[in-house]
Amino acid sequence: MIVRRFLSLLLISAFLLLPVGAGQALALSNLTVTPTETQTISDNSTFVEGSNRYGYLTIESVAFSLSGTDAEVTVEYEITPWIAFLVFLFGKQDLKNRVLSVIGYPETGKADQVVTFTYVDNDRAVITVKNAVVDYKDGSYWYPMHEFGTVIPTLTFVVGPEDTKIYNNTQSMPKGFGYFQ
């Protein structure tokens, strides 16, 4: 009887704290980070602690593996510990939405971009994005300008077996880049 009462009180307190925690997460999700003039923070500049947070997610790295017009995106992150319990309890849909907000896909106005989760857990998500890259039909491609939802500490683009581009502390790629495959 005492154990049942204790579990009931624990669940009730968890549900009562949920709206407070969700409000704090929403407040943090509207956090804006003003990029520098080049919109890419170089290795020798100071990284502002916490600027890589998006609500209850702390982003560690994002890696794009580009193949044709498609991209496989791996997002490494940490979840606030007590939120991890709520993700387990209520499902991963909010986590998926936050990860999509961080990577900025599907982009507004691009109906041909299809985003599919291939894996998601409490510290990593793998996403496939169809039509993330522009194909010039001659073996040359263009990864267009892109905005991320927060600062990405380590942003990696694997273009080919011997071509990798690494950016540090990036929130915006105003120019994009071209490459051959």
The span from the CA of 142 to the CA of 22, in Å, is: 38
Percent of the chain clearing pLDDT 70 (strictly above): 72
Element (H, E) at 23: helix 2-29
Strand ranges inside 12-67, DSSP E: 53-54, 57-67
Please give the model's pTM, rounded to 2 decimal places: 0.72
* Per-range mean pLDDT, top range of 20-34, 45-59, 116-130: 116-130
Alpha carbon distance 17, 170 (integer Å): 34
Task: Summarize pLDDT for 105-128 with one digit per residue, the tens.
Answer: 998 888 889 999 999 999 999 999
Nearest to 62 by CA among 125, 106, 119: 125
Q: Please compute the mean of the pLDDT values over residues 151-180 and round it to a whole number.
A: 92
Total count of residues recorded for the chain: 181
Token pair recorded at residue 150: 């927060």
Helix (H) or strand (E) holding 81: helix 81-90
